Structure 1
Amino acid sequence: MLSVQYKSIQEPVVRDTRDIWELRTDLKEQQQIQIDLLEQIRKYEQIVESYKQEQADSAEATLRDTLDELKKQAGLTEVTGPGVILTIEPLFELDLAGHSTYQLSPQLLIRTINELNSYGAEHISINDHRVINTTVIRDINGTTKIDGYNLNRFPITIQIIADDAEKLYNRIHASTLKDDFAIDSLNLSVTRPEQMVVVPAYEDTIRVKHMEPLNLEKEGNT
């Protein structure tokens, strides 16, 4: 008790000697500080919401870009870019209907597409029919067809887009493709590299086999 009494004597209570006007002034200052803090909090909350919205928009834009790129790779969109155009014609004259006793064999056409791919071709169409991974080229009743479309009328054109059209052009000229066509009495010509070659989109339905939707409840979220 003596210790407490001694301490109270040594440290007397300091009384607030401000008058009513000073107290009001201080109160207003404190209120203004609170208002400023609330405004800063609202501003930062808006910034956070803005960041969240930007992230959501960015994710959506990324998904759209990914979808567009996948469609482009699958051949579902028209593509324009630098490339070359091949023209296939018989070495001899056609009849009045544009027919010839010579035919472009599916084997030669498939080998040509494989060669073009190895030369850097990115997108290919034959007579405005897009060539994709599921494209079928075969002989049906003596007529070469691509996905069911006849290739029995000449000239036959092959549109090709490549990242380096000049390199593609040079590799075609250095290859044996022209000789391969000449063996079948066909002439293969190639244009100089062009800046605006158009390869149309694949128009038919793509049928996917041996694939089914993933059941998340069954398979789990992993």
Structure 2
Amino acid sequence: MEKNVVIRITLISFVVGFMIAVQYNTVKKPESRDTRDIWEIRQELTEEKKLHSELLNEIASLKNIKAEYEDENSKELGKVLQSTVEDLRVRAGLSEVTGPGLRLNIKPAEELILSGFKVEPISPDLLIRLVNEIYRYNGLYIEIDGQRVVHTTAIRDINGKTTVNSVPISNSNVDILIITETFEQAEKLYSYLYASTFQDDFYIDNLKLTINPAEEEITIGAYDGEFTNSYLLKSEGD
């Protein structure tokens, strides 16, 4: 009888000890928690809301197009289709486009060159960062040194030269044209870029980034390359 009691006490003591050890370990090594401050979380939430708003606007636009298809008679349907095709060409970069926007310029910083610093090609990584931020802050269309930026555009280093669409850009004078949906958005983009660190980032590479005020009309040329799609196959009769 006494033996059974001892065994039970031993088992209970083992279980209690195990639970205490687990609890101690949990307190000692808590799970990693989100350490972002409230402003970082608010900024991320704002970006998600902007993305959500853009998706809603896109859905509304597609619904309007669908409604036009359903309402128009057969004679007018061709015009609606033509309008839709032209809109898609503009979005894809296959048509010249004019609208409000900004002009940026990148060239060697003269005071640094006179001091003997060497002119280096514009960093592809820095250029990609700039393009991503432009798109993030409502830039619709971008042209870099005469090259239209489209969804297939690659900005990279090829044999020591920075290229856009596989075409080398200038080391000494590069114009970047940006078009936004409205003039107000162009002004906001100007304010953001002017207050950002990009001018300092380019200056570290001995380059001067000039951010010009928003303009009412800027024209960007069409993409002159070819789009390829490996997922679409032509039939033998095509």
**TM-score bracket for the superposition, by shorter chain length:** 0.5 to 0.7
Cα deviation 1:1-31 (Å, max 9, x = unaligned):
xxxxxxxxxxxxxxxxxxxxxxxxxxxxxxx
Deviation at 1:202, TM superposition (A): 0.2
TM-score (norm 2): 0.62
Deviation at 1:93, TM superposition (A): 6.4
Deviation at 1:191, TM superposition (A): 1.1
Distance (whole Å) between structure 1 residues aligned to residue 130 and residue 230 of structure 2: 27
Q: Look up the match of 1:6.
A: none
Structure 1 gaps, min length 5: 1-53, 215-222
Residue 125 of structure 2, aligned match among 94, 107, 111: 107
Structure 2 gaps, min length 5: 1-71
Deviation at 1:105, TM superposition (A): 1.1
Deviation at 1:197, TM superposition (A): 0.7
Q: Look up the match of 1:181.
A: 202
Residue 128 of structure 1, aligned match among 129, 143, 146: 146
Q: Look up the match of 1:144.
A: 162
The reply on whether 1:87 has 2:105 as its aligned counterpart is yes
For residues 153 and 93 of structure 1, do their structure 2 counterparts lie closer, same or farther at Cα, with a shift above 3 Å needed?
farther
In the TM superposition, structure 1's runs of 4+ consecutive aligned residues that sit over 6 Å from their partners are none
- Structure ranking higher in helix proportion: 2
Distance (whole Å) between structure 1 residues aligned to residue 75 and residue 137 of structure 2: 39
Deviation at 1:178, TM superposition (A): 1.1
Q: Look up the match of 2:83.
A: 65
Distance (whole Å) between structure 1 residues aligned to residue 179 and residue 105 of structure 2: 15
Q: Max radius of gyration: which structure?
A: 1
Q: Partner of 2:210: helix, strand, or coil?
A: strand
For residues 192 and 156 of structure 1, do their structure 2 counterparts lie closer, same or farther at Cα, with a shift above 3 Å needed?
same
Asked whether the 8 Å contact 2:97–2:220 carries over to 1, the reply is yes
Distance (whole Å) between structure 1 residues aligned to residue 171 and residue 209 of structure 2: 15
Distance (whole Å) between structure 2 residues aligned to residue 93 and residue 60 of structure 1: 59
TM-score (norm 1): 0.66
Deviates more, 1:143-152 or 1:121-130: 143-152
Distance (whole Å) between structure 2 residues aligned to residue 213 and residue 66 of structure 1: 23
Deviation at 1:92, TM superposition (A): 3.1
